[in-house]
Structure 1
Amino acid sequence: MPNYEKAMRPEDITRLFVERSNAGDAAGVAELYAEDAVLAYPPGATTVGRDAIRELWAKVLADRPRFEPEQPLPTLVNGDVALTSTPPRDGAGARAQVVRRQPDGSWLRILDRPEFVTPGATA
């Protein structure tokens, strides 16, 4: 397995996600998630665990979508847990992730809601 760059700040995960997704690297994307992570995707469903997340991203990335970096909103940190988020380009709703500091000081996603969440809408 490749020696992937680790996210040493919660904000690094978004950058690494974009880089790995645009490279078509589903395994690299999955390495940004904890073993027991929960991903609110596909729409209306959840994907649980790093292996399932890797399989899902392999299917998504097979179509070679292009991801653009998004300017992150300020990160909220409480000890070893942090909330990261980015607004979509149209400014409606936000993407949100909860990340946890690992024993080596790096950060991994434990909860991820990548879809736009619009106020008043149900997800």
Structure 2
Amino acid sequence: MTHNKAATEPNDLGRYFIERANAGDVDGLVALYEPSAVLAFPPGNLATGHAEIRKVFEQFVAAAPVLSPGRQHPPLVTGDLAMTAATQTNDDVSVEIARRQPDGSWLWVADQPSLTP
């Protein structure tokens, strides 16, 4: 079920995350991250690398959450790095660091999806 659309802009990653999570697409979710990325989820836990991130998302999609897009903030871009952030519908804030890949697409390298203001 993997959606292979590449993120051409940093904020594409957040939109693709919502689409893929709602579709239960674990492979598609993992594909949003660099192979050695770190994910801070669930709160208080760290998953490093695709194998650990996959385990987190397998449990996440098994719960069948229905995600609604929050308000994405403009990305803060410097060179090949970008900080992305969104205010979720429950007022949590997600913050991520994305890196431009050699082909021009973007992938997350660090993801803090639940940072309560």
Task: Name the TM-score class by shorter chain.
Answer: over 0.9
- Give per-residue Cα distances to partners, 1:53-85, cap 9 Å, x unaligned: 112101110111001111211110000000000
2:73 maps to 1:99: no
Q: How far apart are 1:90 and its partner, in Å? A: 4.5
Contact between 1:85 and 1:95, CA under 8 Å: does it hold in 2?
yes
- Give per-residue Cα distances to partners, 1:27-74, cap 9 Å, x unaligned: 110000000100011211100001211121011101110011112111
Give the gaps of 5 or more residues in structure 1: 119-123
Residue aligning to 1:32:
32
Residue aligning to 2:48:
48
Residue aligning to 1:121:
none
Residue aligning to 1:66:
66
SS at match of 1:114: strand
Higher strand share: 2
- Which residue identity lines up with residue 58 of structure 2 in the other structure? A
What is the percent sequence identity of the aligned residues?
39
Residue aligning to 2:87:
87
Give the gaps of 5 or more residues in structure 2: none
Contact between 2:98 and 2:110, CA under 8 Å: does it hold in 1?
yes
The ranges of structure 1 where at least 4 consecutive aligned residues each deviate by more than 4 angstroms after the TM superposition are: none
Q: How high is the TM-score relative to the length of structure 2?
A: 0.93
Q: 2: distance between equivalents of 1:85 and 1:111?
A: 12
Q: 1: distance between equivalents of 2:28 and 2:102?
A: 20
Contact between 1:26 and 1:55, CA under 8 Å: does it hold in 2?
no
Q: 2: distance between equivalents of 1:22 and 1:32?
A: 15
Q: How many residues align?
A: 117
Residue aligning to 2:21:
21
